[in-house]
Amino acid sequence: MTNFFPSRPAAHPTIYAYEDTHPQYRGLLKVGYTSVDVQHRVAQQYPTLRPGARPYRIVFEESAMRGDGTSFTDHEVHRVLRRMGVENPEGEWFRCTVREVRAAVRSVREQREAEFQRTEHFAMRPEQEAAVEKTCEYFRACRADNNRTPHFLWNCKMRFGKTFAAYQLARRMGWKRLLVLTFKPAVQSAWEEDLRTHVDFEGWQFLSRNSELNYETADHNRPIVCFGSFQDFLGRSKSGGIKLKNEWVHAINWDCVILDEYHYGAWRDHAKDLFENEDRREQAFAEGEGRDWFDEEAMPITTGAYLYLSGTPFRAISSGEFIEEQVYNWTYSDEQRAKASWNDADGPNPYAALPRMVMMTYQLPDELRQVAIDGEFDEFDLNLFFRAEGNGDDARFVFKNEVQKWLDLIRGAYVENIVSDLKLGHSRPPMPFSHAPLLSVLTHTFWFLPSVASCYAMRNLLAERQNRFYQDYRVVVAAGSSAGIGVDALAPVLKAMGNPLETKTITLSCGKLTTGVSVKPWSGIFMLRNSSSPETYFQAAFRVQTPWTVCNADGVSPNRVDILKQECYVFDFAPNRALRQIADYSCRLNVEENNPERKVEEFISFLPVLAYDGSSMKQIDAAGILDIAMSGTTATLLARRWESALLVNVDNATLRRLMGNAEAMAALTRIEGFRNLNQDIETIINKSEAVKKARKETPDEAMTPQKKRELTEEEKEYKSLRKQIQEKLIKFATRVPIFMYLTDFRERSLYDVITQLEPGLFKKVTGLSISDFELLVSLDVFNSALMNDAIYKFKRYEDASLTYVGINRHANKAIGLYNTVI
């Protein structure tokens, strides 16, 4: 267990100034930086011992930390002093007063410098280079094809460096006009900072909603990057047309449109779930305007290429929106593998500062769990346990006594647990606020709660007299309208941190600050609410993986950097739910591996899972995670997987392939319910393209009410027909489990069973001949990746019924999935 709790190195970044008592230095101050004791550092600069008083006097000493966890050095202070007109005779000596030094330090800490300095000159990491190279090759290959604007997806986790790599892609492609659209406006600072501080982008111009520079005043001979939110640039005015102030955006032919945080456009329901308990303004901000009609072909902006950026684009990939050659993948596992395998002979490890995540799950005592047992499987419900009523100072938990005992539990003071451990001889598990190594690194944590009321109820409870331990922590409520919308909620958190090496904070939120922000001092997140999807769960969890380093100049190694966060932690008190999220998330990450157990095994080799079952805490392996994840399911829920709309592809490209193949159309029309298929597909394709063309060519404000009604009716018609075809194909998919029950070939892939072993049975069950089935498969009508997943879960659930009096004749044998065997 000690391997998971490394101690934090001592670091005290400080700016200091001293004066030398020798007459020739009168009026001069030496301004320096150190991360050790200032007296010790200055003494190192006077190695020769002299009798009498020291030949120097330290006149200034102040922390070089900012509230966001970043630190600065004397170089930045020197630059500000020079800009202030202070004379700099040589090196680090300045003819100035202590007051001027203090003003310069304050300016750097508050980042109030008059202009950005191009101080960064780092190169791309290997994975960034690979992403840029693959994307360049694809876009160049597509130039000859004028049928459709090429699009490419970077499926890359947080901390990949998407902004820097995207700019490098633009340099390599020779692009001069970039439009960056985002569903999360909070990411603007990252796009602006990279462009203005790196030497590679000298001369590039950044335009945004609140910048002084606009397109008319910009130099059109130099590259231009325009940043805006999807809600603003593609949203409609009250009259229904393009906003007047944004008409210029639609008039330019952009070299590339970059869509950042794309998952918000691809999974609106999950974005809504994340902010469901926030106020309406926050929900509107998170969901944006116009996402329901987002479509490349219908977008009223012209461009030569699209680049999509997201850390969780699972829905876009599974629906076939991007094929393999249009995707570059970089996952958490890839990052940690690169970190572990880096050869020191190649120079400093660029991944060293990226902390490993450790998940710690706890089975709560029955006394606490019983008040919040709910659901089909009598599972512990976090939303119910932390349910609160009231507002602000009056907010209180419904189960206040139990929540109080939970607070006692996580700091090791829950009396019933202590007595039970002594009686039964259990070892005490490492609790977040009692285990000494954990306590030393969890100085700043993020608590993810179910609602605004529960955030205020937790603040109020932490302030009560019996919780003196927690009163050492500054508690910040980042929830509700008073906390600010979007990134505005971050400022109070950073202010509370002050110098994060000396303070302790707890941030309470039910949705804010879970995406698009980086807070370096956060080292642990408490998942205290239910989450319906692995996307929302890990979007929030990865907030704590932001690297935290400081320069540790000690006079001997001036370029040494100390890593303050080697590990970061996810704490979860609903173990079954947490392990299901791990299983789902890891199974979606590695698209090249078919075996779910290997996918989970790879993921948890870099994100170890420690589980406390009430008696001891142990590390869980991949098989254990899948067993626990599957134990909370039923045949009914498994059957619902075969009713998923994602199992079949009914996009225009697939329907065109179908309609262009007479044999495939004949095969489908032989199935009951597909008699008018040809006519339906033709209607869908023609009307969907006509509606898109009409909306693109004619602004809404120029349309007559009659024309708008006609387009709306046509849109409803083709969407209804598309849904009908989808539902009919899904009915075919629901017959697959019946076929699996009727055959005993568990070790062969379903494709082989259908085409080679049981063709007659398959036709009886589904109505399709083998040649018909193979034809539909070749046209990508079925989503093979999701079919594999559904069959794997079906057979794993079935395992229990195949064991008789301790004998399992299928043990250690292969498992056939849809089109592969594991």
Average pLDDT of span 355-373: 86
> Residue 557 above 90 pLDDT?
no
Look up residue 383 and give its amino acid.
Answer: N
pLDDT digits (tens, 9 = 90+) for 397-411: 999 999 999 999 999
pLDDT above 90 covers a percentage of the chain that reads 29
* pLDDT at residue 672 tops 80: no
45 and 92 housed in the same domain = yes
- Based on the fold, state whether residues 261 and 145 are members of the same structural domain: yes
CATH number of the domain enclosing 163:
3.40.50.300
- Say whether pLDDT at 287 is over 50: no
Q: Hey, is 303 helix, strand or coil?
A: strand
Instruction: Tell me how many domains the chain contains.
Output: 5
pLDDT at 419: 47
Give pLDDT, residue 297. Answer: 60
- Which residue type, as a one-letter code, is found at position 343? N
Find the range with the poorest average confidence among 418-432, 518-532, 590-604, 764-778.
418-432
CB 307 within 8 A of CB 540: no
**SS3 sequence of 690-729:** HHHHHHHHCCHHHCCHHHHHHHHHHHHHHHHHHHHHHHHH
Q: What is the mean pLDDT of residues 282-311?
A: 63
In whole numbers, what is the pLDDT of the chain averaged over residues? 79
Structural tokens at position 275: 């902010």
Enumerate helices (H) and strands (E) in the chain, giving the number of each: 34, 30
Q: Which residue has the tokens 């929030």?
A: 540
473 and 399 part of one domain:
yes
Which residue in this structure is represented by tokens 């509230």?
67
For residue 653, give both structure tokens.
């490209």
Edge-to-edge order in the sheet of strand 256-260: 205-207, 224-229, 177-182, 256-260, 306-310, 151-156, 327-330
Range of the domain at 573: 351-632
- Residue, of 696 and 334, whose pLDDT is higher: 334
Residues 335-350 pLDDT 10s: 999 999 999 898 889 8
Q: Which of 49, 83, 109 is the last residue of a domain?
A: 109
Q: Does any domain span residue 206?
A: yes
Which one of 729, 744, 769 terminates a domain?
729
Q: Is 508 left (phi over 0), alpha (psi -120 to 50) or beta?
A: beta
Q: Answer yes or no: is 404 within a domain.
A: yes
* 213 has pLDDT over 70: yes
pLDDT value at 634 more than 60: no
Q: Taking the model in full, what pTM does it have?
A: 0.73
Using DSSP's 3-state secondary structure scheme, residue 634 falls into coil
Report yes or no on 121 lying in a domain: no
Asked if residue 592 belongs to a domain, the reply is: yes
**Is 345 inside any structural domain?**
no
Question: What tens digit of pLDDT does each residue of 256-270 get?
Answer: 999 887 765 544 444
705/743 same-domain check? no
**pLDDT class of 647 with cuts at 50, 70, 90:** confident
- Averaged pLDDT, 50-56: 79
SS (H, E, C) 217-266: CCCCCCCEEEEEEHHHHCCECCCCCECHHHHHHHHCEECEEEEECCHHHH
Identity of the amino acid at 725: I
Residue 425 has pLDDT above 70, yes or no: no
- From CA 321, how far away is CA 309, in angstroms rounded? 14
CA dihedral 120, 123, 126, 128 (to 10 degrees): 60
State residue 709's pLDDT score: 79
DSSP code at position 755: I
In the predicted model, is pLDDT for residue 632 greater than 60?
Answer: no
Sheet arrangement for strand 93-95: 56-63, 14-20, 29-34, 93-95, 87-90
Measured distance between the N- and C-terminal CA atoms of the chain, rounded to whole angstroms: 32
* 120 lies in some domain: no
Single residue among 672, 697, 729 that ends a domain in this structure: 729
572 and 687 share a domain?
Answer: no
Determine the pLDDT at residue 300: 67
Q: Are residues 326 and 367 both part of a single domain?
A: no
Say whether pLDDT at 7 is over 90. no
CA pair distance 762, 781, nearest whole angstrom: 18
Which residue shows structure tokens 């065109």? 656
pLDDT at 173 over 90: yes
| Neighbouring C-alpha atoms within 13 Å toward the C-beta of 706 | 0
pLDDT number for residue 119: 67
Q: Do 188 and 257 share a structural domain?
A: yes
Question: Same structural domain for residues 618 and 502?
Answer: yes
Element (H, E) at 679: helix 677-697
| Mean of pLDDT values over 691-709 | 71
Alpha carbons 697 and 154: distance in angstroms, whole number = 30
Considering the domain boundaries, does residue 519 fall inside one?
yes
Q: Find the mean pLDDT for residues 183-198.
A: 76
Residue predicted with more confidence, 275 or 462: 462
Q: Do 725 and 753 fall within a single domain?
A: no
pLDDT of residue 117: 58
Please answer whether residues 688 and 701 qualify as being in contact, where contact means their C-beta atoms are separated by less than 8 angstroms.
no
Query: Which range among 265-279, 590-604, 671-685 has the greatest average pLDDT?
Result: 590-604
What is the pairing mode between strands 14-20 and 56-63? Answer: antiparallel
Q: 336-340, 389-393, 451-455, 680-684: which has the minimum mean pLDDT?
A: 680-684
The closest alpha carbon to 699, from 149, 182, 231, 239, belongs to: 239
Q: How far apart are CA 757 and CA 658, in angstroms?
A: 27
Locate 374 and state its tokens: 């709910």
118-158 tens-digit pLDDT: 667 888 999 999 999 999 999 998 876 666 788 899 988 87
Same domain for 296 and 205 = yes
Q: Which residue has the higher pLDDT, 376 or 581?
A: 581
CA 800, 801, 807, 810 dihedral sign is negative
Question: Could you tell me if 487 and 611 lie in one domain?
Answer: yes
Q: With a cut of 60, say whether residue 438 has pLDDT above it.
A: yes
Residue 114 counted as domain residue = no
Strand, coil or helix: 617: strand
Residue 319, pLDDT > 50, answer: yes
229/369 same-domain check? no
Beta-carbon contacts of residue 141 (< 8 Å; ≥ 6 apart): none
Region 458-467: what's the mean pLDDT? Answer: 94
Alpha carbon distances (Å) from 204 to 178, 197, 233, 564: 11, 11, 21, 34
Low-confidence winner among 40-54, 63-77, 263-277, 776-790 (lowest mean pLDDT): 263-277
**Among 760, 745, 750, residue whose Cα is nearest residue 813:** 745
pLDDT of residue 398: 94
Cα atoms in the 13 Å half-sphere on the side-chain side of 74? 21
Strand ranges, E, within 520-666: 524-527, 549-551, 561-563, 567-572, 609-612, 617-619
pLDDT tens-place string over residues 219-244? 888 999 998 877 677 655 555 555 66
The C-alpha atoms of residue 342 and residue 361 are separated, in whole angstroms, by: 31
Q: Which residue(s) pair with 380 in the sheet? A: 373
Of 277, 245, 812, 249, nearest in space to 511 by CA: 277
Stretch 452-469: mean pLDDT, rounded?
Answer: 95
Residues 6+ apart with CB under 8 A from 522: 444, 445, 446, 507, 543, 544, 546, 568
The answer for residues whose C-beta is within 8 angstroms of residue 505's C-beta and 6 or more apart is: 443, 444, 445, 473, 474, 475, 476, 493, 496, 497, 521
Q: What is the pLDDT of residue 293?
A: 39
- Give the Cα-Cα-Cα angle 129, 131, 132 (nearest 5 degrees): 65
pLDDT at 164: 93
pLDDT band at 627 (very low <50, low <70, confident <90, very high): low
